[in-house]
Structure 1
């Protein structure tokens, strides 16, 4: 299943074995009893209701309002700049659509497309069906976040393929793809397992999912190549890294930006 600053407000907090080195501490948080973490059966793909809003009623939660309106809880939070722990108040009016209000916004104007849970795939899409997108100018100098072959590639418009799945072994280092600040380190997004999200500037962020362990806390500044997690299969059927690059919240094809290898 199931990230400029309309994203800044939420991603400052938000929009994840053996230690890589003895100086690192393992950062793995278990969900607390009674927490609002999404359980089984959440909405998998948001259906924005352009122009519509919802007024919060007493006792309602972000998850309840989102699912009642066919929207993922994370999308609803991002569209309304609601930061963890996702507190809302009676009488508050929430948008049920992205801030730009368009269904098919271009990357430079899109503001609120949230990461959606990937599915585990074991074979890459046929090369003949993959049409590389034109890279956006001014992107950071990306590096591959881990070693391994690509199991599943990006597919524009497919909510289950908004990044790449990279094969590997449990405990394998996962590294920052560029300099940045960790804005999320947790396991609260169902479908991503242990997840780390790094903000690189006001437009660009990267997400690293299915880890065995997270080695960084929110607010940590990292350099390209710094170890941030250990590969695993949390939320996946096999050991692998799910890696996404997002521009203004919109997923782009990582293989259009990563160096050839």
Structure 2
């Protein structure tokens, strides 16, 4: 696969990169290079335009005010919407996930328009924060092993009719709606509340994004020893705590 190339775009690391979410970009880049893919990674700060020629776009979590600023800039820029229209893959976490929906509650307590790339909207939960390890079963259509991650959010995300739950929780809060859903996805856009960073715990998600970007059904195998040891450790720890 050395003749293939991949353009990876990490959006607004200066605003949206809490809980080690930038590690997702590192894992996707590493997994691609292990398959001898040529990878060009672009870190786009909030004062820079979002390129429309990327293959995979990653967005992390952030505090409430940076989330509002990021949403404002992304709406004005329009580059991410155009990239999705061109078939790009997007994976978002927490605050980034909320931004991809129709609306969320900003740091001023007001509704803030999102990008509408996922058919979801987010409100602010009235009870305790959703904090702790999560174990969930990813939508079987994606053919991925169970999802492990760490959630820390006050938001509650409601799925519309065209959004599919990314996963169903075994334990944890996920979207916070009480229906057992975690995250959302459509054909090319994915959102989750899972930190960890989620790609380090679930490298098969990174592989899924690469396959979608390259339009292939399989990738050459790589050494999974370290990833599986981390997954086993975190799943065992979370299970023991429940």
TM-score scaled by length of structure 2:
0.29
More strand per residue = 2
Structure possessing the higher relative contact order (Cα contacts under 8 Å, 6 or more residues apart): 1
Select the structure of larger CA radius of gyration. Answer: 1
More helix per residue = 2
TM-score scaled by length of structure 1:
0.28
